[in-house]
Amino acid sequence: MSRSADDIRREDSSVSAGASLPEGSAAASEAEGGKIENCILGPRRVMSDPAISVRNVSVSYGGRSILRNVSFDIPRGETLAVMGLSGVGKSTTLRCLVGLQRPDKGEIYIDGKNVLELSEAEFDKLRKRIGMVFQMPALFDSLTIGENVAFGLREHTKLSEQEIQRVVAEKLAIVDLQGMAHLYPNQLSGGMQKRASLARTIATDPDVILYDEPTTGLDPILSMVINELICSLQRRLKATSVVVTHDIKGAMLIGSKIAMLHKGEFVWMGTSEEFRTSSDPIIEQFREGRVSGPIRVQ
Ligand SMILES: Nc1ncnc2c1ncn2[C@@H]1O[C@H](COP(=O)(O)OP(=O)(O)OP(=O)(O)O)[C@@H](O)[C@H]1O
Ligand SMILES: [Mg+2]
């Protein structure tokens, strides 16, 4: 029995976007001898206005304060890696950016527009330019991998079937799943599902990509494969991104900046090199994985 697009979408919380990737091969980044070479830093376009600007955002659930006056800017084409203890509000931050959670107060600007003031129609239009990769791959089980990747293209573009198939093949090749379009999600390993989920997110060429723990649950080698894939996507798409991760190596590799969320606030932000050498007690504790320190596990 076939399901409508709405039926399928209801079962999935993924948000995608609109067009096709520039040409270019994926280049792996290096992480050697404990010093992580950041894949984004180096010569890049000089951007003035931030693509994402979060101003004094506060969120509480049932009177329990989670985010308190959070503010940060992400210039266009850059990636912010967000770290912090479990339950500190990292996913909540992403949910605010994609409109799944309305803050109690504050402003969120994407490309200069305060998303909290947009009409539903305007926000829907913006949301098509935002891709979100959820922690769980959240693929549609009843659709093949190819159909999963094509889903957003069918929904949001007027591409011909031939063009859709071309884009699907291109995206699957980027994530190293070429020739696997006919398989169903349950025929793939967890790591392959993560890659398929990435392909689906980038199918429509989003301007903003939000990744929620893209490597959680994966072995260290597969984690690095996914991290390198994200790096190469960032280089190719020039998307503005937020990557929520517990993977320190990954954050140092991917993030133009790394931010630490602690007790509802962004208490530290710096480059990967600053993170590596910081003597801030919170950063030291998190970096070294120490039990004692200012971060207390509840
Ligand atoms: N819809 C909700 N209703 C009530 N409480 C919620 C809701 N969503 C999240 N919370 C609570 O808010 C806090 C922050 O949740 P969030 O999912 O943002 O944490 P996180 O930093 O992403 O954690 P993790 O690293 O474990 O994924 C948690 O204590 C969580 O239980
Ligand atoms: Mg989370």
Any idea which residue has 């520039």 for tokens? Answer: 22
Q: How far is it, in rounded angstroms, from Cα 148 to Cα 177?
A: 13
Q: Whose CA is nearest to atom 8 of ligand 1?
A: 92
Give the binding-site residues of ligand 1, using a 6 Å CB cut-off.
61-62, 66, 84, 86-92
DSSP letter string, 139-166: --TTS-HHHHHHHHHHHH----HHHHHH
User: What's residue 9's pLDDT?
Assistant: 42
Q: How far is it, in rounded angstroms, from Cα 226 to Cα 232?
A: 10
pLDDT tens track for 114-145: 999 988 898 888 888 899 988 787 899 999 99
User: What's residue 35's pLDDT?
Assistant: 58
pLDDT tens track for 30-85: 334 445 566 655 444 444 567 999 999 999 999 899 999 999 999 999 999 999 99
Does residue 6 register a pLDDT over 90? no
Query: How, if at all, do strands 105-110 and 50-61 pair?
Result: antiparallel
Quote the ligand 2 centre to 56 CA distance (angstroms): 20
Q: How many CB atoms lie within 10 A of CB 95?
A: 19
Tell how far CA 184 is from the center of its chain: 24
Quote the ligand 1 centre to 92 CA distance (angstroms): 6
234 pLDDT band, cuts 50/70/90, is: confident
User: What's residue 49's pLDDT?
Assistant: 62
